């Protein structure tokens, strides 16, 4: 019983870090994804080309690779600067710095996935909606914020939900860098205590979060059910 209690405590702590990575990523990637979507639709060719290429690279490589890349970026940058005689040292030290970089990698990765969903959502709003707003003398930003945005949200709740639930599970990838998240903690216990059940116990936690998310996102979908697009 003491073991169970102890494992639970450790897993709860891991859950906290998992939720932290999840929360920060969501908070950053949701707006950033919209920005990237605008970028890739930009009329300025160079902006849309660069944005699209960037999204293509991020979506075409494993998240784990990107985490490692972002982790070593500051170190490599510092090394290069030092080799040409500029004394900068940005190498990451300590948990907070590592965790921050992990969040950066997750945010950028997910922003790119979200951007594609936004893009699809924006494109699926009929041209007539823009034109109706236009002939009523609304500006472009008024049109987007007051007319288009909510219709986009309604159209993308379902695909977004899938990505968000994937994100919960993807937080386990943070283990390449820091050993704090739920999955890594569970794996650690399995290794040191030579027992298997904590890993399945951790699985319950994941299910719990995703169950909650499913309910919340379902509520949002229902809330937007008052209108049809």
Partner 1 sequence: MAFFEVSNIKKSFGKTEVLKGIDFSLEKGSVLSIIGSSGSGKTTLLRCLNFLETPDVGTMSIDGKVIFDASKDKAMKEAEIRANRLHFGLVFQSFNLFPQYTAFDNITLAPLMRLTEQKLTKEEIKVKTEEIKAKAWELLEKVGLTDKADFYPCQLSGGQQQRVAIARALALSPDILCFDEPTSALDPELTGEVLRVIKSLKSSDSTMIVVTHEMEFAKNVSDEVIFMANGVIEEQGTPEELFENPKSPLTRAFLNKSLESF
What is the C-alpha to C-alpha distance for residues 66 and 106, in angstroms, rounded to an integer? 8
| Beta carbon nearer to partner 1, 95 or 131 | 131
Rank residues 140 and 193 by Cβ distance to partner 1 and give the closer one.
Answer: 140
DSSP summary character for residue 44: S
Sites for partner 1 among residues 124-183 (CB under 8 A): 126, 128-129, 131-140, 142, 146-147, 150-151, 154
The answer to whether 228 contacts partner 1 (rule: CB under 8 A) is yes
Contact 35, 44 (CB under 8 A): no
Q: Shortest CA distance to 69 belongs to which of 108, 20, 22, 40?
A: 108
Pairwise CA distance, residues 103 & 62, whole Å: 15
- Min dist CB 125 to partner 1, Å, is 10
8 Å CB contact between 210 and 203: no
Q: Name which of 143 and 171 has its Cβ closer to partner 1.
A: 143
User: Considering the complex, what minimum distance in angstroms separates the CB of residue 148 from partner 1?
Assistant: 9
Contact, 171 vs 202, CB < 8 A? no
- Smallest gap from Cβ 224 to partner 1, in A, equals 8
Residues that bind partner 1 (CB under 8 A): 126, 128-129, 131-140, 142, 146-147, 150-151, 154, 226-229
């Amino acid at each position: 019983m003491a073991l169970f209690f102890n494992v639970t405590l450790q897993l709860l702590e891991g859950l906290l870090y998992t939720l932290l990575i999840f929360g920060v990523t969501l908070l950053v990637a949701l707006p950033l994804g919209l920005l990237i979507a605008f970028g890739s639709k930009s009329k300025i060719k160079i902006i849309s080309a660069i944005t699209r290429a960037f999204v293509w690279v991020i979506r075409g490589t494993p998240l784990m690779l990107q985490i490692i890349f972002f982790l070593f970026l500051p170190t490599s940058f510092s090394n290069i600067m030092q080799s040409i005689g500029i004394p900068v040292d940005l190498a990451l030290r300590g948990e907070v710095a590592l965790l921050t970089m992990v969040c950066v990698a997750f945010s950028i990765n997910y922003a790119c996935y979200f951007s594609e969903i936004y893009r699809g959502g924006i494109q699926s709003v009929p041209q007539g909606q823009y034109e109706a707003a236009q002939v009523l003398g609304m500006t472009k930003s008024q049109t987007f914020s007051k007319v288009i945005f909510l219709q986009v949200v309604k159209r993308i709740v379902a695909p977004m939900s899938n990505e968000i639930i994937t994100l919960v599970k993807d937080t386990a990838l943070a283990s390449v860098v820091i050993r704090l998240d739920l999955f890594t903690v569970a794996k650690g216990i399995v290794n040191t205590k030579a027992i298997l059940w904590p890993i399945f116990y951790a699985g319950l936690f994941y299910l719990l979060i995703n169950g909650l998310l499913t309910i919340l996102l379902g509520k949002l979908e229902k809330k937007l059910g008052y209108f049809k697009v």
